Chain A
Amino acid sequence: MTVDTVGRFERALEGLEVGLERVSAADAGERIERTIDEPAVGAPLPFEGVSLPEGVTTEPTAGELEAARTGVTPVGFAVAEYGTVAIESTPDGAEPISLYPDRHVAVVAESDVVPDLSAGFERLAEGFDAGRDSVVFATGRSATADMGNLVHGVHGPGDVDVIVLEDR
């Protein structure tokens, strides 16, 4: 993992109007807290020493999911080339939590940011081999041009923020 790859990831996200913040694991909880709009729901973060802030409800009910303004999820890996985050369909609901609320906060370990799509497919194949065979490549914000002009936030989130855990 090189700093360049994260730099490239950041530039790609800039073009998509997606914010990127680099934080240490120790600071992550606080930074996530500042990023979210409440009410917020989340899927547990599998990074050692990183936990979701108090205000984020895990194991949400359907009602809480529907009412949430922010969804916080981990992502398995990210592709720097296109600014893509890979969201897995896990039993703890990462897929709907990343999809339903207006804002999605994606948390990724720096070591899981890969340079390009080919490297992304290598990671995808590893996941498939391990049984993680339902994954969404999400790039930027939900968008449509069907109503005459480009509008963001259609069925999916209209705001996306990515938190990169630098010491992972």
Chain B
Amino acid sequence: MAQRSRAQTADHIRHLLETEGEAIHEHASASNERRGATYAATDDIEALRTEARAIKEDAIDRLPDLIETVREAVEANGGTVYVADDAADANAYVADVVETRTEENGVAGETDTPSVVKSKSMTTEEIDLNDALAAEGIDITETDLGEWVLQVADDTPSHIVGPAMHISRAEIADLFNERFDPDEPFETAEELTQFARDHLGERITEADVGITGANFVVADSGTIALVTNEGNARKCAVTPDTHVAVAGVEKLIPTLSDLEPFVDIIAKSATGQPISQYVTMLSPPTDSPTLDFDSPEEPITGGDGAETTDGTGDPDRDFHLVLLDNGRMDMREDDQLRETLYCIRCGACSNSCANFQSVGGHGFGGETYSGGIATGWEAGVHGQDSAAEFNDLCTGCTNCVDACPVKIDIPWINTVVRDRVNRSSEPESYDFLVDGLTPDAEEGGLDPGKRFFGNIGTVAKAASATAPVSNWLADAGPVRSALERTLGIDRRRDLPTFQRESLVDWFEKRGGVAASSRRTDQAAARGSGADLDREVVCYPDVYTNYVDVDRGKAAVRTLEALGVPVRVPDLPESGRAALSQGMIATADEQASELYAAVAEDLDAGRDVVVIEPSDLAAMHREYERLLPEASFERLRENSYEICEYVYGLLENGADPSALSTGDGAEPIAYHSHCQQRTLDLEAPTVAVLEQCGYAPATSDAECCGMAGSFGYKREYYELSTDVGERLQTQVEDADTVVASGTSCGDQLETLLERDVPHPIELLAPGGRRP
């Protein structure tokens, strides 16, 4: 698939925002809210997630054995297992089964067409089974209502669980009225559903073969587990005498007991239901009698089947399990993509994704799969080009990390694929533009925009050194036009204003460590310090050091007022910016440099305090993949988010009255930060604000829609604004709005057209009122 140009991408996203955005947002956000509530109400949800993941890890590890186990089990039951290498192989096998069975039953002659009814299955979407069967002259009908709507509309799924989520009721009514020309036009969901039930019911009773997917396959008993709310999978599986189940090989789990946590969690994660209406566990061929609606006078029981309880089911029944490889066995060998195979296709990553809520799965591109985990699936089953197109829509916010029932690190998979895509492109002529500014570890050919944002620290340093000239230049029309043309930076978005004096310079100028100790002693003399003997290294992240210098100053003053001496050394970048652009080699190098630079402080027992949540997230999450384990653990255990650290100081006896306190219940709106929430660090900030006399109302919008570079990119400007507006409506009525992240603050300042400081700026002695 050819990659779209920037302008085409922008047009496509604008179109989706207008046509599908509203319906998608309504359904996806409702499912996400229900999932959140159900997770919260489930006592052992973490244990359940951990167990589910462990089972998948084990199953994928033992996959070749499980394939042999299930083959024996299904054959012992009287069925057949076929392992298909790829789409063409699987499709040819299924077509052959359909044709053979139809001929055997004498239904299909010269003029009669074999008919198949199908229950929703993303795996059969992956191999385009419907088209392949249609090409063989086989009539195929989707029976899941959403999937059938798509079949009638000749559309593709935009969501793993709710494939037609992007189409509104009114649009479905229009479509059906036009296509089926009813006596009375359809209007309500009830009328549409009744019509679909009757129409599809007829198809099912007439069908020669039923095709389903499988949510799970229990290897040692040959049991297919199907999870549905409508009941169509049951009908497709047990009504015709022939059942074909098509499943990726990764659906195998070893035993029946391994199924339990998945039955417990799949509906919770998918739709927020405690359990789905129907969890069908079939070890086909089953004892259930086949239903021949062509002979309405014949009892359904009383055939040979009624007497057969020998464990091989009704002898009239035929069952085929098609296990699809199609790249999966290679994914299993790939240390980075393997995790994708743990996916249980619940769609929780999509529902929790702010960008998905705005544009839906059609915005994420790829040939079949959609949403966060799609990048891994597309890269594995369709190849990197298919994954490349829109994996940019992952901002790395990590909302999906908390949502995923099997704890897949979806943002990391996106980072890895982005890195691989970067490496596969041809060198471009714009390299020279950023070469001087980009001392990264990447090979040539990287998109210049990515390279620019991935090296933002170097850019910021240069811009700060030349401020205010650099700011004036950056705002000038010709420069903005060049930035947009070459780097894709949208000219509608305000650029950061670089400060001439960096935080590090400011700190040195006011006397450095010695002065900080003196101030701390004064605080101790006033009795406002904590009952702790700590020292802090305040991490000057790129934005705090060169742009939001005030929040850095506020952090230093706050720590000193609470009795902790501070140092602000010039430290390397965290690598977070590089990771966002998929520049793993650069991030890896920067992580090592940063660790080396703070190693002595860690040895000296100093705490590292971080203001920018995404930098802390890099140290607490991604460094696990970039540093030796001991180094990672050491830094993680001794690094803190600024308000989390203040919370600890107050808990240890520091006096909040040394800070700028509110009137006791002073209302403010507080927007945490996506990665900060994933690290469970929203609560400490809220607690500190409350202790200091504020009554913070927190936002629950999934993400502010401007994760660092994302909102600057021309093709995503409108999407970023659309996502941001959901947050805007939650906070705009408050007199004071504070936000923890740089990009959150930038986005809110743009949308609210007023100052949105970091909470620490509100709290610092002397304070700052917006």
Within 8 A of A (CB), among B621-636: none
Give min CB distance, B229 to chain A, whole Å.
Answer: 5
**Complex alpha-carbon distance, A149 and B30, angstroms:** 12
**Could you tell me the distance between the alpha carbons of A148 and B188 in the complex, rounded to whole angstroms?**
8
Provide the bound-state CA to CA distance between A106 and B393, in Å: 48
What B residues does A151 contact at CB under 8 A?
Answer: 189-190, 193
Q: In the complex, what residue of chain B is closest to A88 when comparing beta carbons?
A: B287
Min CB distance B206 to A, Å, is: 12
Question: In whole angstroms, how far apart are the Cα atoms of A151 and B194 in the complex?
Answer: 9
Q: Which residue of A lies closest to B168 (CB)?
A: A148
Residues of A within 8 A of B205 (CB): 62, 66
Q: Does B657 contact A (CB under 8 A)?
A: no
In the bound complex, what is the Cα–Cα distance between A153 and B289 (angstroms)?
23
Checking A93, A147, A153, A155 against B189 with a beta-carbon cut-off of 8 angstroms, the contacting residue is A147
**Cα separation A158 to B216 with both chains bound (whole Å):** 27
Q: Give the chain B neighbours of A150 by CB distance below 8 A.
A: 189
Whether A65 lies near B300 (C-beta < 8 A) is yes
Shortest A64–chain B CB gap in Å is: 8
Determine the interface band of chain A, counting residues with CB < 8 A from chain B.
35 or more
Give Cα distance in the complex from A139 to B337, angstroms: 36
Interface residue count on the B side (C-beta < 8 Å): 73
- If the complex has contacts A62-B291, A128-B221, are A91 and B229 also in contact, measured as CB distance less than 8 A? no
Docked-complex contact A137 and B193, CB < 8 angstroms: no
Task: Given A137-B279, A154-B231, check contact A131 B145 (CB 8 Å).
Answer: no
CB pair A62–B296 under 8 Å, yes or no, is yes
CA distance A74 to B724 in the complex (A): 54
- Contacting pair B296 A91 (CB below 8 A): no
Distance in angstroms between the alpha carbons of A147 and B277 in the assembled complex: 17
Query: Within 8 Å of chain B (Cβ to Cβ): is A82?
Result: yes
CB of B144 within 8 A of CB of A146, answer: yes
Q: How far, in Å, is A65 (CB) from chain B's closest CB?
A: 6
Cβ of A62 and Cβ of B293 under 8 Å apart?
yes
Q: Given the interface contacts A82-B274, A91-B308, does A136 sit within 8 Å of B229 by beta carbon?
A: no
- Chain B: minimal CB distance from A27 (Å): 28
Q: Measured between C-beta atoms, what is the minimum distance from B174 to chain A in Å?
A: 12
Q: Is the CB of B197 within 8 A of A155?
A: yes
Cβ of A50 within 8 Å of any chain B Cβ, yes or no, is: no
Partner-contacting stretch, out of A1-9, A107-115, A117-125? A117-125
Contacts known (A96-B289, A133-B223); A128 close to B256, Cβ less than 8 A:
yes
A125 touches B284 (CB 8 A): no
Chain B's nearest CB lies how many Å from the CB of A42?
12
Contact of B720 with A by CB under 8 A: no
Chain A interface (Cβ within 8 Å of chain B)? 59-63, 65-66, 82, 84, 89-96, 99-100, 117-118, 121, 124-125, 128, 131, 133-151, 153-157
Known: A124-B281, A154-B197. 16 other contacts (CB 8 A): A59-B299, A59-B301, A61-B297, A66-B296, A91-B287, A95-B288, A117-B275, A124-B256, A125-B257, A134-B313, A137-B279, A147-B149, A148-B192, A149-B190, A153-B197, A156-B230
Q: Give 6 CB contacts A-B under 8 Å.
A: A62-B295, A89-B282, A90-B287, A144-B145, A146-B162, A148-B192
